[in-house]
Amino acid sequence: MAKTYNNRTDVPDHEKWDLTDLYKDESAWQEDVKQSYELADKLQTFNGKIDDSTSLLQYLKTQEELSLIVRKVFAYAMFRQDIDTRDSKAQKLNGQTAQLSVKISESTAFFMPFLLSLDKKTLEQYIQEEAELAYFEDSLWKSFREKEHVLSKEQEQLLSQLHETFQAPSNTYNMFNNADISFGDVTDEDGNQVQLTRGMYSKLIEDEDRSKRQEAYKAYYKPYVEMNNTIATNYASEVKTNAALAKVRNYSSALGEALFSDDIPVEVYDNLLQSAKDNSKPLHDYAKLRKERLGVDELRQYDLNVPIVQGVKAEIPYDEAYDTMLKALKPLGEDYVAQLELFRDKRYIDVRETKAKRSGAYNMGVYGVHPFVLLNHHDDLNSLFTLVHEMGHALHSHYSSKEQPQITANYKIFVAEVASTVNEVLLIQYLLKNTEDERMRAYLLNHFIEQFRGTFFTQVMFADFEKQTHERAESGEPLDAESLNELYEGLFRTYFGEELVFDDEVKYGWSRIPHFYRAFYVYQYATGFVSAIDIAMRILDGDKETLDNYLTFLASGSKKDPLELLNETGVDLTTSAPVENAMKMFKETVEELRAMDV
């Protein structure tokens, strides 16, 4: 039976964060807040006063000093609130960090317009005159790339002041989706009608009783259907804002702006969408297999999450899960495994679900301290995979912080999912290799297929939706509820095939995706997934060069652009090869599952 805890005080200390690694107490945190304001004020004094290499260096060093402190300040406040979202003290701390963020934004708004007002020769001269500027050189030149996209100092200050207004659609959606949303009713075990919660939904949608799945599905979509016009208007505002800001800043499109900072060609995005469509037949075959194994006359969306190998329940206590992870990730080398052991021993992981703790899981690296991992561990197979996933992020943060200076220690989002997914692939292959029970093997194959479906195909479909909505806004086409619903339903049919019989709720699916308020983010899950499969399978084949290159990748932070970092591991996302390799593996996995008589 999985361990459950009513209160955080009941959780053993070794399964809780030790936040004294950040600050010994709240007064120490307040001292850093005070120092942050002082440094922000100091940065503001440079406005109009940077006129030589020495003053440029002084500004950049002060900014980096502030960045190091602020990272700790923000992390501590966030962690305090995440372990108990009811904590009024933690809420106040986060209120202070919000005010500090505005202060820093205002204090530094002048710098980018100033930097880009320089001509190239002047910047080169400054770097040659002051040896210490070599540390900042790459960052300065990357910023200089944005010269044609940054406005005047006055215009940038105005946009900075309007930042909260631009965030309004996102904030409005988050408030609706987290605070105000009220799902429909479902029938509990005693036959009573109770209001559905997200936690209940995640369990009921996997229930072997189809009527329960259907009831939960209808109840879950109820508020999105009822609020369809309002959500559509809100999302249209988000998309139009993105399109308008891209135009104001002289980008070719909102997509072009989103990809610019990482130097990702639009062709990589388009290639991903096309390659997914070209290789979608195995997914359609899997839908047929799912229909057959579930024994249903019509395959509905609420049939897509229940395991098709039923009756397999694996209880895996946390310590056993951790030991399994250590064995599965052994191919990554002795030091990698040793660091994983240290994370458990040093209390870098907050393990258990407790009342009012933030849901889900994440890793956050704090430069100069260490990464912190939040879990809500339930002693089951999904929790094992979540553990392995988040520790991939954590070790990526660990090695990058260890080997890189602060300025290049943070890796880009584009490569973030590679390290986590490499770990998941190594885990699934380890479990398959060491599982003799046929039903468990089939269950694991089904799990891996579902990972493909969710992390690759679904995210690519979302990315396609984002691309088309922004293109419509840029060409002046309407973005109302009807057109958004129609677009989403059409994409769902394209990617998932005709085997599905659509309930009316399917077309409202776009309205429940919070990631759409962080434009052109989700495609990176898919690129990271196919890259990770490519890397992990070569490591398992004993390719030492790939292993060495991958470990170098983990320690590289943002030293190089994302595509270059991946190229050095042998993954070229400008071609369709990584997607085709992953799809070959997907096809073979579906075929193996079909051949099993379970």
Which pLDDT does position 480 carry in this prediction? 97
CB 372 within 8 A of CB 350: yes
Which pLDDT does position 155 carry in this prediction? 86
Residues in the chain: 598
Which pLDDT does position 152 carry in this prediction? 79
Span between the terminal Cα atoms of the chain, in Å = 26
Q: Which amino acid is at 364?
A: M
Same domain, 213 and 164: no
CB 547 within 8 A of CB 333: yes
- Residue 392 resides in a domain: no
Same domain, 103 and 158: yes
Per-residue pLDDT of the chain (598 residues; tens, 9 = 90+): 556 687 899 999 999 999 999 999 999 999 999 999 999 999 999 999 999 999 999 999 999 999 999 999 999 999 999 999 889 999 999 999 999 999 999 999 899 889 999 999 999 999 999 999 999 999 999 999 888 888 877 888 888 788 888 989 998 998 888 778 899 999 988 889 999 988 789 889 999 999 999 999 999 999 999 999 999 999 999 999 999 999 999 999 999 999 998 889 999 999 999 999 999 999 999 999 999 999 999 999 999 999 898 778 778 999 999 999 999 999 999 999 999 999 999 999 999 988 888 888 999 999 999 999 999 998 988 899 999 999 999 999 999 999 999 999 999 989 999 999 999 999 999 999 999 999 999 999 999 999 999 999 999 999 999 999 999 999 999 999 999 999 999 999 999 888 999 999 999 999 999 999 999 999 999 999 999 999 999 999 999 999 999 999 999 999 999 999 999 999 999 998 999 899 999 999 999 999 998 7
Identify the CA nearest to 573 among candidates 536, 519, 528: 528
What is the 3 state secondary structure string of 537-566? HHHHCCCHHHHHHHHHHHCCCCCCCHHHHH
Same domain, 127 and 186: no
Tokens 């290049």 -> residue: 408
Same domain, 70 and 206: no
Same domain, 14 and 133: yes
- Residue 28 resides in a domain: yes
Bridge partners, 365 (sequence order): 371
- Residue 22 resides in a domain: yes
Identify the CA nearest to 344 among candidates 16, 4, 72: 16
- Residue 426 resides in a domain: no
Same domain, 68 and 82: yes
Beta-sheet pairing, 371-377 with 349-352: parallel
Distance CA 107, CA 406 (A): 21
Distance CA 505, CA 509 (A): 7
Q: What is the DSSP string of 83-104?
A: H-TT-HHHHHHHHHHHHHHHHH
Which pair of structure tokens corresponds to residue 428? 């699934």
Q: Residue 177's domain is classified under what CATH number?
A: 1.10.287.830
- Residue 23 resides in a domain: yes
Distance CA 543, CA 556 (A): 20
Same domain, 119 and 26: yes
Q: Which of 215, 390, 424, 466 is catalytic?
A: 390
Distance CA 370, CA 269 (A): 33
CB within 8 Å of 574: residues ≥ 6 apart: 265, 267, 268, 271, 563
Distance CA 501, CA 489 (A): 12
Count CB-CB contacts under 10 A for residue 233: 14
Which pLDDT does position 529 carry in this prediction? 94
Task: Please tell me the total count of domains within the chain.
Answer: 2
390 is catalytic: yes
Q: Residue 72's domain is classified under what CATH number?
A: 1.20.140.70
Distance CA 143, CA 261 (A): 9
- Residue 85 resides in a domain: yes
- Residue 142 resides in a domain: yes
Which pLDDT does position 3 carry in this prediction? 67
Same domain, 163 and 188: no
Which pLDDT does position 157 carry in this prediction? 80
Structural domain containing residue 17:
8-168
Same domain, 19 and 137: yes
